[in-house]
Amino acid sequence: MSGLFCIVSAAVLAAAASFTKELHLRHPSDNGFAERRTAAAEAKRQLLAKFASAPKPTDPEMQEKLAAREAVAQAREARRAEREAQKQAEHDRILAEAAAAAAAAEQEQRAEAEARQAEIAERVSRVVADEAARKAERDRRYAARKARQR
């Protein structure tokens, strides 16, 4: 049993040594708290230097960038307004076409209704004329019969 324990502990020791070596290779300059503190201070100084050397809003270069951004924004707004105008024109055109189609359909319905009314009136006049002709024929026969009887 002690032989197995020696093999396992040797493997664990080898893995631990490998891990410490790998950790040291990953952070070779991590020697202590003081170095970490100086590195943090140096990073802070570099960041402050970066912001100090950044162009101010009053610099001509920044004014040019701001003007360019404003021009791009105005152009974008002009394109948007143009698209909106095109959409509105298309919408108005579609509405006008729909109104024209509705007017044409209404006119067609009105013409059909007038044609139906004319046809009905013509039928009625024919029926009345036929009835008048039959009455006239009946009256003629009646008068002829009365004439024969006298």
Question: What's residue 12's pLDDT?
Answer: 62
62 CB-near residues (< 8 Å, 6+ apart) = 55, 56
> pTM of the full predicted structure?
0.42
Question: What's residue 20's pLDDT?
Answer: 58
Question: What's residue 115's pLDDT?
Answer: 95
Pick from 29-33, 88-92, 104-108: least confident: 29-33
Q: How far apart are CA 150 and CA 142, in angstroms?
A: 13
Q: Mean of the pLDDT values across residues 26-33?
A: 66
Helix, strand or coil for residue 120? helix
pLDDT tens, residue by residue, 92-145:
999 999 999 999 999 999 999 999 999 999 999 999 999 999 999 999 999 999
Average pLDDT, the chain: 86
Question: What's residue 51's pLDDT?
Answer: 82
Q: How far apart are CA 144 and CA 75, in angstroms?
A: 101
Q: Is the per-residue pLDDT at 46 higher than 70?
A: yes
Buried/exposed code over 102-139 (b: 16+ C-beta within 10 A; e: otherwise):
eeeeeeeeeeeeeeeeeeeeeeeeeeeeeeeeeeeeee
Q: How far apart are CA 130 and CA 118, in angstroms?
A: 18
Q: Which is higher by pLDDT, 121 or 29?
A: 121
Q: Is the per-residue pLDDT at 40 higher than 90?
A: yes
Q: Is the per-residue pLDDT at 146 higher than 70?
A: yes
